[in-house]
A and B are shown apart, each in its own frame.
Chain A
Amino acid sequence: MVGPYSLSYRGGEMSELLTTVDGRPLKEALANAERSKRIRAVLLVLPLFVFIFFSFLYPIALMLYRSVENPLIAEHMVETVAILENWDVKEVPSEEAFAALANDLVAARKTREIGKIATRLNFETPGLRSVITGTGRKAPRWGPPFKEQFIAYRSEWGELETWATLKRLSPTITTVNYLAAVDRKLNVEGNVVQIDENYQIYVDLFMRTAWMSILVTLACVILGFPIAYMLASLPLRQSNMLMILVLLPFWTSLLVRTTSWIVLLQTQGVLNDLMVWVGIINDAQRIQLIFNAQGTVIAMTQILLPFMVLPLYSVMKTIPPSYLRAAESLGAHRFLAFWRVYVPNTLPGVGAGCLLVFILAIGYYITPALVGGQDGQMISNMIAFHMQKSLNWGLAAALGGLLLLGVVLLYWVYNKLVGIDRLQMG
């Protein structure tokens, strides 16, 4: 309610402004009322917005920043970085650079930053950790000229690769994490090259993650469509009963559902026991059903199925049964009517379900971690590994950044093809 307004003419001219009873211009009064409404609305959503900002947007921005930031070397090896700036990466630098390095290492050892520097360099070129920390321990006792003593202590100081690594990590903003996240690195000459085949993992893992997510999504459509159709076409009382069967697992803890699958599928588990008991296989032939990619797909399909069924159901509920009857009365075969009239109407639901399931699946973590075994691990497990075990948070952030990019791209494509406004979540 905006309030009581009455229109009045002042004078007789039509061009006169419309005003309210108390003489204010109507336009202004309306704008005022609208503004206070808007402020109230903003105030209502403000807590939510602040919450989302601090718990969602800010951490994501921070994570993306971590994937490119690299202040350590620039901050703590000032002299070396300054000299290496003009170094041409053709041959091992001169005495001047070694002297600067000695100063920096001694200083870094005093401030106890040397370990962090060593770890950072070691991510890039394995083995440099002990070279840096060891040299840091020795350098205070050395005097000029440094070059020979450095190289005599560790031959790595006489290699181009060591110095190139230092130079590569000098800038405070770096792309090395993103290169590493796609199995690439910068070589001594500064070109992007693939890393050794034995160490390549992330590209394969991204592909596998996408492939497994596609499988899960397809399985969810195939299993979810008939369920949703049945729920939508049954009388309300029965469909409500059956709906419980969809919702109950949905409300059950993820861990419980995942571990139940382990109990069912492991080699000494229920299904194998049953097959042995029936005599399909003998005791030595027990089948490995879980702790591999197939087990992960099975468990994830079951866990994500409600995310397919619910949007489908809500869309199917809105399709009038008279459409099908009309098609049949015009001579279409039942199947043709279903395929040409009913299915196209469900597409917004199918799209929403697929988008939802796929996006949830590519970021899935707990289920593959528990039942993935060797070949059922997904990219999220690798991110967790770098967060928790190797402590290479920059690389973890870069992997997460790529995953985020994938989701955003998918969303964009969906928006172009189907239109996000047609999304129906139920």
Chain B
Amino acid sequence: MITKLKFTTFVAAGAIALGAMASSASAESLTVVSWGGAYTKSQVEAYHKPFTKETGISILSENYSGGLAEVKAQVEAGSVKWDLIDLEMSDAVRGCDEGLFEQIDPAILPKGDDGTPAEKDFIDGSVTDCAVGTIVWSTIYAYDKGKFPGGGPKTMADFFNTKAFPGKRGMRKTPKANLEMALIADGVSNDKVYAMLETPAGVDRAFAKLDSIKDSVVWWEAGAQPPQLLADGEVAMTTAYNGRIFNAIAVESKAFEIVWDGQVYDLDLWAVPKGAPNKDTAMKFIAFSTDTKRLAAQAAWISYGPVRNSSIPLIGKHAEAGIEMGPHMPTAAANFKTAIQNDFEFWADRQDELNNRFNAWLSK
């Protein structure tokens, strides 16, 4: 008995050790990296589970908080552990330029359910050399209704108006989206924002506007923080990713309200790090997850809009809360009126400079 037990333990230990060594080379699993929280959950429900069911390939889900550092470190060290990564547009462009990602053949993308070829079905710019889009998400601001019994803020200018709407503000610790919002609040029209940010005077103007509320700002870094800051009462209003706030309202029944005015929307895309251990499976997963039905299914879990036109009519109710999802999408007509698209070319060019300025400004 004891011998048998020992033997079993030995085999089990060996199997674990082998498994640990082989996991990166095995075709039976895929390491998918995303942003965590409600967003990763929506991907697990809409993509990962059906994929595993259909192919038997298990998916290991990891979290990160954006940026290319980890991918770059893995690719340069020649030990890539990630197979697939969910990225913002500007990182997808930059990583592709720097050769951090595998090229993706657009021919692997399936036709839309209504027969539209993939290249027409995806919205403009959502399929690049190295990345395939999945969702349209948005940076909005949201407030705690309890803090404003006499009526909450309505416009982007209200966010920067601490006299009429007192209380701390939460903002992401990056110039991206904040500078755009500052200019919109300062009265710049949507189509002029990026042209203005190209000029030193425009950048000065944006920073001057940020400066006016600097003492009231609590800076956040991970997407899960802003709903938490609101719930803890640390801030009265905060910028956030719209899906996170929706999740807090719909699933956690928080009394938050989203203000869509001046939302800055962006895409999230899949990319495969160069030299990924399971490159072929990753490509299969990309094709699987970006078909019409799967993209629409994700919208049942989080309020981010699918990038395929053919998916939009299929958007239904929230899978748990039973709320009709259509009106909560960043792209819904009522929300979209004053939206601006994040200009990834601008940010890919200017982010080093503006990050430096932002950091210098923060520390003063």
**A residues neighboring B (CB under 8 Å):** 112-116, 118-119, 122-123, 126-130, 133, 198-201, 204-205, 208, 266-268, 291, 373-375, 377, 382, 385, 387-392
Contacts and interface: CB of A to CB of B under 8 A. Distances in A.
B360 interface: yes
Nearest to B97: A115
Interface stretch (B64-72, B256-264, B311-319): B64-72
Nearest to B96: A115
B361 A133 contact: no
Residue of B214, B345, B352, B355 ringed by the most chain A CB atoms within 10 A:
B352
B114 interface: no
A129 B356 CA distance: 16
B219 A373 contact: yes
Contacts of A388: 67, 69-70
Contacts of A123: 352
Nearest to A132: B97
Given A198-B357, A388-B67, A268 B99 contact: no
Given A126-B350, A389-B67, A113 B99 contact: yes
Contacts of B364: 204
Given A382-B359, A385-B359, A127 B97 contact: no
Contacts of B124: none
23 contacts: A116-B97, A116-B98, A116-B99, A118-B97, A119-B98, A122-B349, A126-B352, A127-B349, A127-B353, A129-B349, A130-B349, A199-B360, A201-B356, A201-B363, A204-B363, A204-B364, A208-B363, A268-B233, A374-B214, A374-B363, A389-B67, A389-B355, A391-B68
Contacts of A385: 355, 359
B3 to A, nearest CB: 37
Contact of B99 (A115, A129, A130): A115
Contacts of A199: 353, 356-357, 360
B67 A130 contact: no
B362 interface: yes
Contact of A268 (B234, B353, B361): B234
A399 B121 CA distance: 48
Contact of B69 (A201, A208, A382, A391): A391
Nearest to B203: A198
Interface string B175-197: 00000000000000000000000
Interface of B: 67-70, 72, 94, 96-99, 204, 207, 214, 218-219, 232-234, 345, 348-353, 355-357, 359-364
Given A115-B98, A387-B69, A391-B68, A377 B233 contact: no
Contacts of A268: 232-234
A127 B194 CA distance: 14
Nearest to B100: A115
A124 to B, nearest CB: 9
- In the A-B complex, the 9 residue pairs with the smallest Cβ-Cβ separation, listed nearest first, are A115-B97, A126-B353, A201-B360, A115-B98, A388-B69, A112-B99, A130-B349, A129-B349, A374-B362
A268 B235 CA distance: 11
B72 A391 contact: yes
A201 B358 CA distance: 10
Contacts of B214: 374
B77 to A, nearest CB: 13
A123 B98 CA distance: 14
Contacts of B72: 391
B234 A267 contact: yes
A205 B357 CA distance: 14
Given A127-B349, A127-B353, A201-B363, 8 more contacts: A115-B97, A119-B94, A200-B360, A205-B363, A374-B362, A389-B355, A390-B351, A391-B72
Contacts of A375: 363
A170 to B, nearest CB: 20
Nearest to B68: A391
A198 B214 CA distance: 16
Contacts of A389: 67, 69, 355
A127 B347 CA distance: 10
Given A116-B98, A374-B363, A377-B363, A392 B349 contact: no
Contacts of A119: 94, 97-98
Contacts of A127: 349-350, 353
B213 to A, nearest CB: 13
A204 B359 CA distance: 12
B355 A390 contact: yes
B166 to A, nearest CB: 10
A388 B99 CA distance: 18
Residue of A267, A375, A389 ringed by the most chain B CB atoms within 10 A:
A389
A133 B357 contact: no
Nearest to A200: B360
Contact of B361 (A115, A116, A198, A373): A198
A201 B359 contact: yes
B361 to A, nearest CB: 7
Nearest to B204: A198
A123 B97 CA distance: 15
A151 B361 CA distance: 34
Nearest to A376: B363
Contacts of B96: 115
B343 to A, nearest CB: 11
Contacts of A118: 97
Contacts of B361: 198
B234 A126 contact: no
B217 to A, nearest CB: 8
B214 to A, nearest CB: 8
